[in-house]
Homo-oligomer: A and B are copies of this chain.
Amino acid sequence: MRLVVVAGSTRTAAIDGISAAGADADALRHTPSADLEILDYGEPVQSPVVPVSPTGCPTPAVVTRAVREHVGFDVTAIDAGLARPTAAPTVDIGDGPGADIRDVDPVPDAERLFERARSFAAGLPDDEIAVAESIPGGTTTALGVLTALGERPAVSSSLPENPLPRKRRVVDAALATSDLAPGGAAGEPVRAVRRVGDPVLAVVAGVVVGASEAGTTVRLAGGTQLAAAAALARHAGVDEPLSLETTSFVADDDSAAVHGLADDLGLTLRATDPGFTALDHPATNAYVAGEAKEGVGMGGALAMAARDDLPMATVRETVVDLVDDLLAARTAGERRQVP
């Protein structure tokens, strides 16, 4: 199995109270770059930050990495507009961060990103791929896209209390700037992602469309952001079966309505529970308390673990080992210079 992880950034994430995907505003800009390093090397290699939330909840990349250490799936990282350098190998499709969706034309090259990703995915030799994202602020842009397409406007959050009213105000302002009504971009996925989305959504949608057209089975490894990418693919005419593999934390989040979204979009939903309640560790307790919930392919990786009969207890032990190593390195300030 190949996991295609699309990483990038949107300045929408800088809006106060939108994202918990970084300890502070500066660290947040490094999160996707550090996530890719964790997936590839097991730790941040050149990135100066360890991606944690303001309360210290570690990035879901550690869960995906933990599964990878046992299952050994391939990772193909796509740079769809990283804000900071990464030492992880990437396929470069993006041209830098997306703008705040309340600005005019936040993803001006959406068409090109979508088409390049579509062409890239159509060329992959795999029978089956999983697709994931890493982009702080991505649930807000996902809400923008779902609203513009006229789909169910409900998304999850990396915060325990989903700031949905705040996200809706951002999306309302974004739609107004772009002179779009809810549903105004139905059937026009590139327009939706260009006006109220982010570059990662444009690339993920392109990957889903290109792979589906080439006959590759696509697993959407994530939560409501991947559902928004699926919505873009449906509005681009993809009617192949698609599955959405997420975590129990997203599935249990009533504010996110992922079941309804999956039904609306004809997605087979699979939610996998890593059983974090069996532990008492600050990292896993943070997930149990509703932080992070999903990202960087976590739900898809847990589904791979389940399919491979990898015990969740083994996944949990590896997660705890990885987190302890990460936080020890963070405390020791062992981060090295960006090349």
Contacts and interface: CB of A to CB of B under 8 A. Distances in A.
Interface of A: 40-43, 45-46, 72, 74, 76-78, 87-93, 116-117, 119-120, 122-125, 336-337, 339
Contacts of A124: 41, 45
Nearest to A115: B339
A258 to B, nearest CB: 30
Contacts of A74: 40
Number of identical protomers: 2
Contacts of A120: 45-46, 87, 339
A88 B87 contact: no
Nearest to A325: B125
A329 to B, nearest CB: 10
The 8 closest A-B pairs by CB, nearest first: A89-B89, A116-B339, A45-B123, A123-B336, A119-B339, A120-B339, A89-B91, A89-B90
Nearest to A2: B41
B125 A43 contact: yes
B336 A119 contact: yes
A123 B87 contact: yes
Given A87-B120, A120-B46, A120-B87, A339 B93 contact: yes
A7 to B, nearest CB: 11
Contact of A125 (B41, B90, B123): B41
6 contacts: A46-B123, A76-B89, A87-B120, A89-B89, A116-B339, A117-B339
A325 B90 CA distance: 26
Contacts of A123: 45-46, 87, 336
Contacts of A119: 46, 336-337, 339
A332 to B, nearest CB: 14
A218 B183 CA distance: 57
A144 B87 CA distance: 31
A119 B168 CA distance: 44
A337 B87 CA distance: 27
A35 to B, nearest CB: 14
A294 to B, nearest CB: 23
Contacts of A40: 74, 76
A122 B89 contact: no
A125 B45 contact: yes
A306 B121 CA distance: 35
A102 B208 CA distance: 48
Nearest to A41: B125
